[in-house]
Structure 1
Amino acid sequence: MGRTNLETLEIIPDPVSLIESMRSVGYTAESAIADLIDNSISAEAQSVEIEYDATGDPYVAMLDDGRGMNPAELTQAMRHGSRNPADHRHANDLGRFGLGLKTASLSQCRVLTVVSKQAGVLAARCWDLDVVQDSGRWLVVVPSHEVIQKLPMSKRLDAMDSGTLVVWQDFDRLSAGSINLAREFTTKFSGLREHLALVFHRFTSKENGFAPVSIRLNGLALPVRDPFIHSNSYRQPMEGQTIRHERGLVRVTPHVLPPVSHLSPDDIETAGGLEGLRGTQGFYVYRNRRLVIWGTWFRLVPKQEFFKLTRVQVDIPNTFDELWSLDIKKSAAQPPEIIRNRLTELIPHFAEASKKTVTYPGRRTGSTAYIPVWARYEQSHGRFRYDVNKDHPAIIALTSDMDEGKRRQLDVILELISSAIPLDGIYADMCSDRRSGGDDQVFDSLARMASSLKEATGMALSVILDTDPFIRYPGLRDRIIQRDKI
């Protein structure tokens, strides 16, 4: 049946009802500001300044040095649905629905003013929800020069060749029920710095020829965040995968972090921030280098302690937006079935490397067969226990000169130690990502232990260093040998 002869009626949405409904899409302050930064990066900005203050007239302002907009472009940018999400976009465009600037901003405030400068020409437009409500029409205010000059950071825009200033004012939802608005602002934006640092960490650092973008919040640069800790030399290199699709390429890059014993407190903060290592394991999906969703396995596997060192970087182009069900806020996505099936096949390979790193941090290449101090024994109904391994070379050397009575006494003591191992406490400490000590502290402890074992058992130092726990720290082997020679 054709549609050319259908009787039609044009039904224009009521602006007041629609805007008020869209204000409840679910933006947080963090995701709303991140959406604005997307626009700045798409406009090729190299510097983004964000300021907020509630001590006088409350405001949030963001200024970038991007290419700016002329008056016609700015008017179009203020239109709800200014771009069709199905339209082809530039490969580096971070936009999606043509709603972010308006929906993100008006979810937090009632007055949104945008001032943009291009080729020396200044233009300004303002969505004031009181004007929309009073008129019942989609009316955008054109602010006067005097109003523009009173906006925060406007003088900085005057001094720039090009750029865009976004200002939020009249925070009706934030002030509702608030006794102290300044304190409410502090609470509302308490997680903003960490959120932006993680979401844009690939933009604020040098990467593959891309110039870094400076993002500052109230005058301070964002902290360095890198969920893969590229600077740590103990990371395990793993082969990446490229999944081919008619919409483009999905690049999957697995990372297995070093064991916690090889991570400094700064490393742990850089990798996990406030959430810690266990809470941030899983996939990290980047759309044009911008982090969209992280710390999830998409229900393909459950989060586990053994997988806490696994991070899987997934890079998708903006041509995959529809397939990945990317939402307006760009804070949620789900892989399509063809990609999900491939990721499911790859997970065991990634996770197994992480499991080995958690349970056995490392050993010297080419060393003799690994003999652990603790032996794990499977029992019925999925239960297990850990016993001191009596086949460990140090214990064999100790008991070789003992008579039968002494051996029985030692067996009783070892059984006592095995039965009293505090598994619950050990598991709790592993989940907290606490380190047992710095490298110097670990080195001193191992060196003293090796020296004592050598004296007590007569074992050669080279043999001792090939046993557990010394074999777990291959980087300290040469230092222990040098100390023994002194």
Structure 2
Amino acid sequence: MNQVQTLEVIPDPVSLIESMRAVGYTVEAAVADIVDNSLSAEARTVHVQYDAAAGNPFLAILDDGSGMAPDELTHAMRHGSSNPTDQRGPTDLGRFGLGLKTASLSQCRKLTVVGSKNGVLSARCWDIDLVRESGRWLVVVPDQAATEALPLIKRLKAQASGTLVVWQDLDRLTAGAKDVQAEMTARMEPLLEHLALVFHRFAQKEGSHPPVQITVNGLSLPLRDPFLSSNQFRQELEGQTIRHERGLVEVRPFVLPPISRLTEEEIQTAGGRDGLRGTQGFYIYRARRLVIWGTWFRLVPKHEAYKLTRVRVDIPNSFDELWALDIKKSAAYPPDAIRSRLKQLIPHFANRSRATIVYPGRKSSRNDAIVPLWERLEPKHGSFSYQVNVDHPLVARLSESLNADQQRHLQTILEYLASSLPYDQIYADMCGDKPRDPDYDLDRLEEIARSLLQLTDLELSAVLKIDPLARFPALHGALTKRLNDV
């Protein structure tokens, strides 16, 4: 057998490191990649701080994780410090061994990392200008004076362990800016919300996982929940576990409440009045970290009828190769076996979303005692209609006050109302996300509640479950106070 001739072709450091800077990180995706490392090191606090007013703009990320010893830190600074095909711990958010370097150097020309472990402080620095001058993969070992001058270094030294990542010479963040501080502030504007969404499951206790505090310039991340779990009108549909030789994929579908059931804060959390359509679809989590969201993976087009559907999909990091996870951890695509299963589930999710849009009814439960004014009838599969609920206290009270002829006349009127509903117009209005019930302020609801109390002889708790009062649970506390203060 002939021996194969080989040649070792070593990449040019200058060309490669400059090319890798163009991977396409946004600043918020780059910071998130560094936070991934902090979470993999089991940090309980992560502080992001940036400043462009100090003459030497910087961005620093400090955590209180396990830290790194000198040899570990040197290895971590190596490009490709881990093999993406290696098996890793279930909570490890890394993959390629490139994130720390590629994410950081996409934004700056000087990356310094300081590790604190077992009482030993060590620092390493990538300086692109030095690489250009030497033409070699040289990492700087900063002296004590340079290390002591780094931002947040005193806080790191005060901790038992941890890691400090510092970006300096922020050429990509401040290039061409006349006002460096204003430019950096503008570039950082999406950071808080991006981190809040991507790491929203880390911000609160989940199972055996304690909460992690993440701050940006001292501000804690706002609580974000794309599934609005605190809203009583949100519907959780039956989930499914997809079994694969690489592990389990957990699928949990949710249908958000119609916009009339949401507070302004919930509307913004769900994507804003104009964003509900764009944020529908699958939300893919890798080890609890949100990787990609608001997509149907081209299995179905985004549609008004599906806009309330959010499907949480949890994948283990053993699926990275199959899901085509990219370096930035901002894109993933399911393999054929998983994609076909998800496609089969979509009609089930979408049908409930469509029903919620067209008929924004109450969260169905055998235990709820909400009394609607309108009832949905489904005499046969695929056919439905609406009629006035004759058991509604106001309708029943009116009927009881009438004689037999008048009751028949009332029934005719109610049937005519039901048969004349403008279904097409109602559907168009629902799809337009237009806020409804604009005239139902607290004063008007108080009038309705007093009328119901007087006409029905029901307790206040029962009256609040009658339509239209039942539509505004957020105002029930204020209504109760007003009515009880009299």
TM normalised by structure 1 equals: 0.81
Q: In structure 2, the residue corresponding to 1:202 is in which secondary structure?
A: coil
Q: Which residue in the other structure is 1:40 paired with?
A: 38
Q: CA deviation at 1:237?
A: 3.1
- Match of residue 26, structure 1, among 24, 27, 44: 24
Distance 2:389 2:113 in 1: 74
Aligned twin of 1:49? 47
2:65 maps to what in 1?
Answer: 66
Matched, 1:164 2:177: no
Q: Which residue of 1 aligns with 2:345?
A: 346
Task: Give the Å deviation of 1:231.
Answer: 1.7
Secondary structure, counterpart of 1:201 in structure 2? coil
1:428 is aligned to 2:420: no
Superposed displacement of residue 357, structure 1: 1.7
**How far has the Cα of 1:258 moved from its partner?**
2.3
Q: What is the rounded CA distance, in whole Å, between the counterparts of 2:273 and 2:53 in structure 1?
A: 28
Match of 1:335 in 2: 334
What residue ranges of structure 2 are gaps of 5+ in the alignment? Answer: 378-384
Question: Quick one: distance in 2 between partners of 1:12 and 1:474?
Answer: 67
Residue 120 of structure 1 corresponds to 119
Which residue identity does 2:43 align to in structure 1?
A: A
CA 436–5 in structure 1, closer or farther in 2 if over 3 Å, else same: farther
Cα–Cα, structure 1 residues 203 and 11, in superposed 2: closer, same or farther, change >3 Å? Answer: same
How do 1:188-267 residues align onto structure 2 when only pairs under 5 Å count?
A: 188-267=187-266
Query: How far, CA to CA, are the matches of 1:327 and 1:290 in structure 2?
Result: 14
| Partner AA of 1:28 in structure 2 | T
Deviations 1:375-403 (A, max 9, x none): 9xxxxxxxxxxx99899997x989x769x
* Higher mean C-alpha displacement, 137-146 vs 297-306: 297-306
* Corresponding residue of 1:360: 360
Q: Superposition pairs for residues 252-331 of structure 1, below 5 Å?
A: 252-272=251-271, 276-331=275-330
Q: Is the 8 A contact 1:63 1:164 kept in 2?
A: yes
Is 1:100 aligned to 2:99, yes or no? yes
Alpha-carbon separation, structure 2, partners of 1:360 and 1:335? 32
Q: Is the 8 A contact 1:260 1:435 kept in 2?
A: no
- Stretch moving more, 248-257 or 28-37: 248-257
Match of 1:130 in 2: 129
Show the counterpart of 1:380: none
Name the residue aligned to 1:7: 5
Once residues 25 and 295 of structure 2 are traced to their aligned partners in structure 1, the CA distance between those partners, rounded to angstroms, is 20
Tell me the number of residue pairs that the alignment of Structure 1 and Structure 2 aligns. Answer: 454
Distance 2:215 2:124 in 1: 25
Q: 1:126 to 1:423 in 2, by over 3 A?
A: same
CA deviation map 1:185-219 (0-9, x unaligned): 11111110000001001111110121111101101
Distance 1:214 1:278, change over 3 A: same
Q: Which residue of 1 aligns with 2:380?
A: none
Letter in 1 for 2:70: P
Aligned-partner Cα distance in 1 for 2:36–2:423? 57
Alpha-carbon deviation of 1:255? 1.4
C-alpha distance in 1 between matches for 2:96 and 2:436: 43
Who is 1:382 aligned against?
Answer: none
Equivalents in 1 of 2:313, 2:423: separation in Å?
44
Post-superposition shift, 1:276?
A: 3.9
Q: Structure 1 residues 317 and 119, CA, compared in 2 at 3 Å: closer, same or farther?
A: same
Tell me if structure 2 keeps the 8 A contact 1:364–1:471.
no
Deviation at 1:304, TM superposition (A): 2.2
Q: Percent identity?
A: 55
1:97-136 C-alpha deviation (Å, 9 max, x unpaired) = 0000000000001000001111111111111000000111
CA contact (8 A) 2:305 2:431 kept: no
- CA drift of 1:93 comes to 0.4
Kindly indicate whether the alpha-carbon contact (under 8 Å) linking 2:65 and 2:163 is maintained by their aligned counterparts in 1. Answer: yes
Q: Say if 1:30 and 1:191, in contact at 8 Å, map to a contact too.
A: yes
Q: CA deviation at 1:284?
A: 0.7
Could you list the per-position Cα deviations for residues 42-66 of structure 1 after superposition, in whole angstroms to 9, with x for gaps in the alignment? 0111110100010121000000011
Specify whether residues 275 and 159 from structure 1 end up closer, same or farther in structure 2 by C-alpha distance, changes over 3 A only: farther
- After superposition, give the CA deviation of every residue in 1:307-363 in whole Å (9 maximum; x if it has no partner): 222111100000000000000000000011111110111111112122222223237
State the Cα distance separating 1:265 from its structure 2 match.
1.8
Instruction: Please state how far the C-alpha of 1:239 moved relative to its aligned partner.
Output: 1.8
Letter paired with 1:261:
S
Deviation at 1:428, TM superposition (A): 3.1
Separation (CA, whole Å) in 1 of partners of 2:166 and 2:131: 18
Across the aligned residues of Structure 1 and Structure 2, the Cα RMSD in angstroms comes to 4.1
AA partner of residue 164 (structure 2)? L
- Equivalents in 2 of 1:277, 1:32: separation in Å? 26
**Contact 1:268/1:276, CA 8 A, preserved across alignment:** no
Q: Is the contact made by 2:242 and 2:249 (CA closer than 8 Å) also made in structure 1?
A: yes
Letter matched to residue 62 of structure 1: I
Q: Residue 266 of structure 1: CA displacement?
A: 2.5
8 Å CA contact 1:84–1:97 kept in 2: the answer is yes
Q: CA deviation at 1:425?
A: 6.0
Secondary structure, counterpart of 1:254 in structure 2: strand
SS of match in other structure, 2:339 = helix
Output the amino acid matched with 2:360. Y
Q: Is the 8 A contact 2:291 2:330 kept in 1?
A: yes
Paired residue secondary structure (1:179): coil
User: Relative to 1, partners in 2 of residues 1:261 and 1:130: Cα closer, same or farther, differing over 3 Å?
Assistant: same
Write the distance in 2 (CA, Å) between the matches of 1:174 and 1:238.
44
Structure 2 equivalent of residue 381 of structure 1: none
C-alpha distance in structure 1 between counterparts of 2:240 and 2:423, whole Å = 45
Residue type of the alignment partner of 2:17: I
Contact 2:372 2:467 in 1 (8 A): no
Shift of 1:424: 6.0
Mark the CA change 1:124 to 1:259 in structure 2 (over 3 Å): closer, same or farther: same
